[in-house]
Amino acid sequence: MLLKSRVSIITGGARGIGKGIALRFSEEGSDIVIADLLDKEGSQTASEIQQKGRRALYVHCDVSAAQQVRTLVKQAIKEFGKVDILVNNAAFGPPSRPFAEISEAEWDRTIAVNLKGVFLCCQAVIGHMKQNNYGKIINISSGNAVSPALPMAHYAASKAGILGLTNDIALEYAPFGICVNAILPGPVRTELWDTNIPPGVPKEAFFKELGKVVPMKRVGEPADIADAALFLASDLSRFITAAQIHVGGGLPLRYQM
């Protein structure tokens, strides 16, 4: 097993991409700490992992709140003795809207969860990882960070910020055995898209149409992202840090017709 005896914190792990990563990591031997605001879904995901014979803990946590993040990490260490892997997946997906119509409140919430949350979670674990001379941090950015697909300046800015943050932390902590990398998913079939599905359009039809812009002609599934995350979380990537891996079926490549 690639993650035998490892302990992973996965933010936004209750559903979608985060749940896919949590389940995949547990299959490879990792104990899992799920951080989310969705208590019912988070507890259910933890229960699914436990039923498969792995240890799992759900912690209610708003990643934009520093005290809650510190408590999350303390609980993880108290329960499992250490934290080897952090996956910063929690995200706020605002509806698409023209730049001039983005409210200050919506901007602030998007940046707080998507970028400040990554900053706080990394800061909360980095001292522990440095002390252990080992750590894997995987930050979930977005293809929108480098190739916007919809008018979502607040979301694109937050995800682009993650890339700069990833590079800086990776450089500073490389001497301490800590690898910090980013994944840039393309369109993935998750609930994050719900606010951008037009009224009256069936979800399946929406994703089928969306898949047409992808060179591989389909949208991604959480398992596609989970497998890339597994590589970065395992020792197969022991000499890789500051990498930006696009997992988008060929996006952002596009034919110019």
Per-residue model confidence as pLDDT tens digits over 119-137: 999 999 999 999 999 999 9
Residue 148 has pLDDT above 90, yes or no: no
Position 149 scores a pLDDT of 77
Other C-beta atoms lying within 10 Å of the C-beta of residue 133 = 10
Percent of the chain with pLDDT over 70: 99
18 vs 238: CA distance, rounded Å = 22
Query: Domains of the chain by range and CATH?
Result: 7-192+221-247 (3.40.50.720)
Q: Residue 181: phi, psi to the nearest 5?
A: -135, 165
User: CB burial class (10 A; 0-12, 13-18, 19+) of residue 16?
Assistant: buried
Q: How far is CA 132 from CA 2, 8, 147, 220, in A?
A: 19, 15, 37, 35
Position 203 scores a pLDDT of 86
Query: Residue range 82-98: average pLDDT?
Result: 95
Active site residues: 155
Position 193 scores a pLDDT of 78
Q: Residue 143: phi, psi to the nearest 5?
A: -60, -25
18 vs 13: CA distance, rounded Å = 4
Q: Which tens digits make up the pLDDT trace of 27-42?
A: 999 999 999 999 999 9
- Residue 223 contacts residue 20 (beta carbons within 8 Å): yes
User: CB burial class (10 A; 0-12, 13-18, 19+) of residue 6?
Assistant: buried
Q: Which of 72, 156, 149, 178 is nearest to 111 (CA)?
A: 156
Residue 256 has pLDDT above 60, yes or no: no
